[in-house]
């Protein structure tokens, strides 16, 4: 069973620590969501886990240091979706999504029927089949986000990092995307680490939450344990009401 272990991870920019002593142990089939106020270090954390920004500490998959792997081999293990994915003008949606299979191809090899089928399957699951011939540059913000997630799922890596995956989506597509990720993590044995702003949504699907403030994990546990009026007041500076629900806590802002 694939397992990601992160120990004592630190990230510094210009001498300032923006992520401090981050630790996580997650196996395939699990979903951890990192929440926190703006500037807490959530996006930087995910970028450090995938190697986009430099960090110190240990990041291991099944006991092996991920930075001892080539970029191609690392991509076979970890897929990443940025909050604002870069998409080259002139590329069609299907070709962009199919890039997710690149890490699995041998040198100079072309995509097999299986690679094409995987891309078509994911596009269909995300309701994007009608977009396959569209230029990615002409997509709306929500469409771009769904296409970026499709590429990551097509990559079929056992670990997927999602930075604010529902930010540009309306409520219907939010539910569609999150339901798909939730189903695939069980069916395909994927470990998911995501960040989210919406506190109510963050408690619906993940197994546990990690509350990040000033680069440090200050609270960790179930949604009920982390999403309390006290924690939100202390770390977000917000006054909220929490309503208990079978699916998770409902966080409602209150007027001062």
- What confidence category does residue 109 fall into, taking pLDDT thresholds of 50, 70 and 90? low
d(CA 238, CA 235): 8
Give the per-residue pLDDT at 98.
93
Cα 46 to Cα 129, 198, 207, 227, 242: the distances in Å are: 29, 18, 18, 22, 28
d(CA 141, CA 139): 7
State the chain's mean pLDDT as an integer. Answer: 91
In the predicted structure, residue 106 carries a pLDDT above the cut 70: no
Q: Taking residues 130-158, what's their average pLDDT? A: 91
pTM comes to 0.91
Pairing of strands 216-221, 208-213: antiparallel
Q: Taking residues 90-115, what's their average pLDDT? A: 84
Question: What total of structural domains would you count in the chain?
Answer: 1
d(CA 41, CA 35): 10
Tens-digit pLDDT profile for residues 166-195:
887 888 888 888 988 898 888 888 999 999
> The domain containing residue 18 runs over which residues?
3-253
Tens-digit pLDDT profile for residues 188-216:
889 999 999 999 999 999 999 999 999 99
d(CA 163, CA 193): 9
Give the per-residue pLDDT at 124.
92
- What confidence category does residue 31 fall into, taking pLDDT thresholds of 50, 70 and 90? very high
Q: Taking residues 103-129, what's their average pLDDT? A: 83
In the predicted structure, residue 56 carries a pLDDT above the cut 90: yes
* Two structure tokens written together for 125: 């699951």
Name every residue whose Cβ is closer than 8 Å to that of residue 24 and which is 6 or more positions away in sequence.
4, 5, 6, 32, 193, 210
In this structure, what CATH number is given to the domain that contains residue 128?
3.40.50.300
| Of 5, 10, 1, 15, the residue nearest 193 (C-alpha) | 5
Q: Return the higher-pLDDT residue of 109 and 161.
A: 161
In the predicted structure, residue 130 carries a pLDDT above the cut 80: yes
């Amino acid at each position: 069973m694939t397992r990601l272990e992160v120990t004592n991870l630190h990230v510094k920019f210009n001498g300032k620590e923006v992520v401090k002593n981050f630790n996580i142990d997650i196996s395939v089939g699990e979903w951890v969501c990192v929440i926190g106020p703006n500037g807490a270090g959530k996006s930087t954390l995910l970028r450090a886990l995938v190697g986009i920004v430099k960090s110190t500490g240990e990041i291991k998959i099944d006991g092996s240091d991920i930075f001892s792997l080539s970029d191609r081999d690392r991509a076979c293990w970890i897929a990443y979706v940025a909050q604002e994915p870069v998409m080259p003008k002139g590329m069609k949606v299907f070709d962009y999504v199919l890039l997710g299979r690149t890490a699995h191809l041998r040198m100079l090899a072309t995509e097999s029927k299986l690679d094409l089928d995987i891309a078509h399957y994911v596009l269909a699951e995300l309701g994007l089949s009608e977009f396959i011939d569209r230029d990615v540059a002409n997509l709306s913000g929500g469409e771009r986000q769904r296409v970026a997630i499709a590429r990551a799922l097509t990559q079929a890596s056992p670990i997927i990092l999602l930075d604010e995956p529902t930010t540009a989506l309306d409520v219907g597509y939010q539910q569609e995307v999150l339901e798909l990720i939730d189903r695939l993590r069980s069916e395909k044995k994927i470990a998911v680490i995501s960040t989210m702003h919406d506190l109510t949504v963050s408690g619906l699907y993940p197994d546990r939450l990690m509350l990040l403030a000033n680069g440090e994990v200050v609270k960790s546990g179930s949604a009920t344990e982390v999403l309390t009026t006290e924690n939100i007041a202390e770390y977000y500076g917000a006054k909220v009401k929490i309503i208990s629900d079978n699916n998770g806590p409902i966080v409602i802002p209150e007027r001062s």
